[in-house]
Chain A
Amino acid sequence: MNGAMNRKVLILLGPVAGIVMFIAVVWMATVFVGRSEYRDPYRAPAATADATPRAEGVAAEKAAADTKAKATPYAEAEYRTFPIVGSRVAIWAVAQLHLLFAAFVLAVPLFAFIIEAIGYKTGDLRYDRLAHEFTKLLSVSFSLTATFGAFLTFMLIILYPKFTNYLMSVFSPTFLPYVLLFFFEAFFLYTYYYGWGKFHPLLHLFLGLGLNLVGTAIMLIANAWLTFMMSPRGVSDTGAVLSVWDAINNYTWMPINVHRIIANIAFGGSVAAAYAAFKFLQAETDEERAHYDWMGYIGNFVAISAFLPLPFAGYWLAKEIYAFSQTLGLTMMGGAFSWLFIIQAVLIGNLFLAANYYLWLGMGRVDGVQPLQKFIKYLLFAITLCFMVWATPRSIIATVSELRAMGGGAHPVLGYLGVMSAKNTAVNILILTTFMSFLLYRRTGKVATVAWAKAGHAAQLSIFAAAAFIVIFLGIYGYFVEATVRIRLSVPQVSSVLIAMVSITAIDVFLFRGAMRTGEVRWGRIPRVSQYVLIFIAVTFTWLMGLMGYVRSGLRQHWHVYGVVRDHSADAFTPTLGFATKVVSVTVLMFFLLIGFVFWITSLHDRPEYQRREKGVGATAHEAEPV
């Protein structure tokens, strides 16, 4: 009885705490953002103002103002202002929230579909259950995505009417297909979710495929609008439309499409893993813990697998930005935004450290892990070293005396670690090291029994060593060659890492086929701290998406459409990175409050019906039906 009461109190406290935290975050946003950027002009306090009523004068002024207003012809507004935080911050927060939910809604069906297909192929019902569990998160998230999308559209029309009108005129042929696709998306999503177990598996898989195709098409259209703003094409110097297809197929459209699909998967995987972590920490039975441990592992596996090739998609995007405009590229990497990439390095370094830490903790699930644990310290050393190199800035903030002592803006030794040669090397080694952690985890509790096992291990080690050598050698070589040569060195560095990962994985699959098991995997046997690591990874991914969204959008600086439509609003300036990171942080907090709401609603699905709970476990289904 007491337990039931406590549970009721907790159920009540959950939403109350959520509402209080939401209000606190909105208040914080107002304080953070309002204080540093916008100040009202000074006005004398009412007490010191002239107390004379002057009612007649006021009435006359009002009448004059009315007459003037009536005589004023209608004029199209170029901008309108949003109270307290200003138009830009308001649009920024809403757009970011819309994008985060959209990313989640696009990513989850992708890996749910793959997991369901694995379940169908292998006949293992655990996969089917897991895919269904992921899909449960979708319906509420879809509603929130659409709500924020509508909110964003209204905000654009209200706050930036002239620019929005221009964008709509350029892309007018794309809007109706976009709306139509949304109908299809809703159809596929709800039939996929509610039709689970109700249709033939192949038909259900077809619905999943349709959901993914339509979702991707929606993303491609929306990406055309935003990439056009960054790298416009298909319009004249004055903005007149010459070719809608060229406007869609601009320089950064395809790289952003690819980058977003991969990043969405990484992000979606991490948030789904955070949901599993939340459920694991709530779990009361070993069975539940085992299930959610497995779900968290799969979510994190999806996230990190997508995260590893993400830098390569990032290189492509950066290359296309440079190809469109060297000025834009240099503003990004060498100008106003260059320090942003130091913050990015901290985030990515944390992601790599956390992902590896989770894998190492996960090794404890398997008996017989000791032989492999000795390698962890070397991996940790390599990751830490790479993290430090990546986070080293080229120029540093220093006093005059420090600058004199260094002999310039860059440190005589550490300055060499701040350039692209060192950073490219560090990130490639980081990726290789994390890949090694995956491999070690994969082979925990297994011994290869194939006849060529020794040769296979040697081949894997040789490929790994060769890739590491190529990356480091080219990194050092980059210091001694001209810029034209150095820029191209990143291609063989990246290629060698990719080839190594693919070939080592291929060998590993055959090497451990029919391997002897030395220990069972005991799902659920993992320290609780590992679940907090999963939540940390999800928050870091989300924050990283917010930051990179800012640089992509902020890169245009005082242009709505770069080089075509100039921003004449009060927000045309580029804010400080400190201000940007505050906005990103507040938006991320809002997102996690909302996704917490999604988790809570989703978890209601598993809760016994009200009457059954009241009457006890013994109540029949018939008795439990609502009257």
Chain B
Amino acid sequence: MKIPLILRIGALVFATTGFYAYVGQMVPQKEVQPPAEIVLRTDLTTADMVKVGREIMEGKGLCFTCHTIGKSGALRFPDLAGVATRAKTREPGMTDIQYFAQTMYEPNAFIVPGFNPGMPVINKPPIGLTDQEILCVMAYLQTLGGTATVTLQTKHQYNAGTATPTTPSTGVSPGGTQPEATVKGEKR
């Protein structure tokens, strides 16, 4: 029995699109939700801030889209392992907090040698972290090769303060109390 031409062509079109849809099912499946809006409690400890900072870097901040921790080789953006140590001496006359603040509020002011400019301004859309969220990120960054000292009251050149490094916090270590970051009714 001869199969009509239209059916043969239809079968070919159907099989081809079906095959590509099948290939689409074979790759990793990940649904990306919009970042949750975080409301920070005003009495977060430094240890809490470290945890929140890590969460922000993994989520809303999109930091790990580009940066890595503990990876070497031909990287497109600086690896963050040991960044706390480097931040203290990266730019003469700047403390680690001032340096971290500059990298986020004014990222093109200093480019790490060997890399291209590419870091977005973090307190503006599309990332748009708040001043408090940026302080949490700084707290986390300080733990990468150092000890976190930042508090929510820390002032720097971009949050209406002068360059005043905070005094080391006492008695709070990473992994302390659970931060009470709450998610504000973010729609799916």
Given contacts A573-B188, A581-B24, contact A539 B6 (CB under 8 A): no
Shortest B23–chain A CB gap in Å is: 5
Q: What per-residue 1/0 map shows which CB atoms of B70-91 lie under 8 Å from chain A? A: 0000111000000000000000
Shortest A553–chain B CB gap in Å is: 14
Contact B127 A347 (CB under 8 A): no
| A164 interface contact, C-beta 8 A | no
A87-95, A130-138, A441-449, A479-487: which one contacts chain B? Answer: A479-487
Binding site for B on A (CB under 8 A): 10, 13-14, 17, 21, 237, 278, 281-282, 322, 325-327, 330-331, 334-336, 339-340, 342-343, 346-347, 397, 479, 481-484, 486-487, 532, 535-536, 539-540, 543, 547, 557-559, 562-564, 566-570, 572-578, 580-582, 584-585, 588-589, 592, 596
| B170 interface contact, C-beta 8 A | no
Contact A572 B18 (CB under 8 A): no
Q: Residues of B contacting A570 with CB < 8 Å?
A: 187-188
Closest B residue, CB atoms, query A592: B13
Q: Residues of B contacting A569 with CB < 8 Å?
A: 187
Contact B65 A575 (CB under 8 A): no
Q: Complex formed: what's the CA distance from A564 to B124 in Å?
A: 10
Q: Complex formed: what's the CA distance from A423 to B187 in Å?
A: 39
| B172 interface contact, C-beta 8 A | no
Contact B114 A580 (CB under 8 A): no
18 further contact pairs, Cβ within 8 A, besides A334-B66, A532-B9, A540-B20:
A326-B119, A342-B27, A397-B28, A483-B76, A487-B116, A532-B8, A535-B13, A547-B20, A563-B125, A564-B125, A566-B125, A570-B187, A570-B188, A580-B24, A581-B24, A584-B21, A585-B20, A596-B9
Contact B34 A567 (CB under 8 A): yes
Contact A343 B34 (CB under 8 A): no
Q: Complex formed: what's the CA distance from A564 to B128 in Å?
A: 11
Interface residues on B, range: 35 or more
Closest B residue, CB atoms, query A568: B187
Q: Complex formed: what's the CA distance from A366 to B127 in Å?
A: 61
Given contacts A484-B116, A486-B74, contact A543 B32 (CB under 8 A): no
Q: Residues of A contacting B34 with CB < 8 Å?
A: 557-558, 567, 572-573
Binding site for A on B (CB under 8 A): 4-10, 12-14, 16-18, 20-21, 23-25, 27-35, 62, 65-66, 74-76, 114-116, 118-120, 124-127, 187-188
Contact A346 B17 (CB under 8 A): no
Contact B75 A539 (CB under 8 A): no
Closest B residue, CB atoms, query A14: B6
Q: Complex formed: what's the CA distance from A589 to B10 in Å?
A: 9
Given contacts A336-B30, A563-B125, contact A581 B20 (CB under 8 A): yes
Q: Complex formed: what's the CA distance from A484 to B116 in Å?
A: 6
Closest A residue, CB atoms, query B66: A330
Q: Complex formed: what's the CA distance from A342 to B25 in Å?
A: 12
Q: Complex formed: what's the CA distance from A319 to B10 in Å?
A: 39
Contact A539 B12 (CB under 8 A): yes
Q: Complex formed: what's the CA distance from A576 to B172 in Å?
A: 41
Q: Residues of B contacting A237 with CB < 8 Å?
A: 124-125
Q: Residues of A contacting B35 with CB < 8 Å?
A: 558
Q: Complex formed: what's the CA distance from A581 to B116 in Å?
A: 34
Given contacts A327-B127, A581-B25, A585-B21, contact A576 B13 (CB under 8 A): no
Q: Complex formed: what's the CA distance from A483 to B79 in Å?
A: 13
Shortest B161–chain A CB gap in Å is: 23
Q: Complex formed: what's the CA distance from A160 to B116 in Å?
A: 38
Contact A589 B13 (CB under 8 A): yes
Q: Complex formed: what's the CA distance from A21 to B6 in Å?
A: 11
Q: Complex formed: what's the CA distance from A532 to B29 in Å?
A: 32
Q: Residues of A contacting B33 with CB < 8 Å?
A: 573
Contact B29 A578 (CB under 8 A): yes
Q: Residues of B contacting A397 with CB < 8 Å?
A: 28
Contact A578 B24 (CB under 8 A): yes
Shortest A231–chain B CB gap in Å is: 11
Contact B12 A581 (CB under 8 A): no
Q: Complex formed: what's the CA distance from A330 to B75 in Å?
A: 13
Closest A residue, CB atoms, query B14: A589
* Closest CB pairs A-B (n = 4): A581-B24, A326-B118, A558-B34, A563-B126
Q: Complex formed: what's the CA distance from A604 to B13 in Å?
A: 23
Q: Residues of A contacting B21 with CB < 8 Å?
A: 581-582, 584-585
Contact B126 A327 (CB under 8 A): yes
Shortest B34–chain A CB gap in Å is: 4
Given contacts A557-B32, A572-B188, A580-B24, contact A481 B5 (CB under 8 A): no
Contact B75 A483 (CB under 8 A): yes
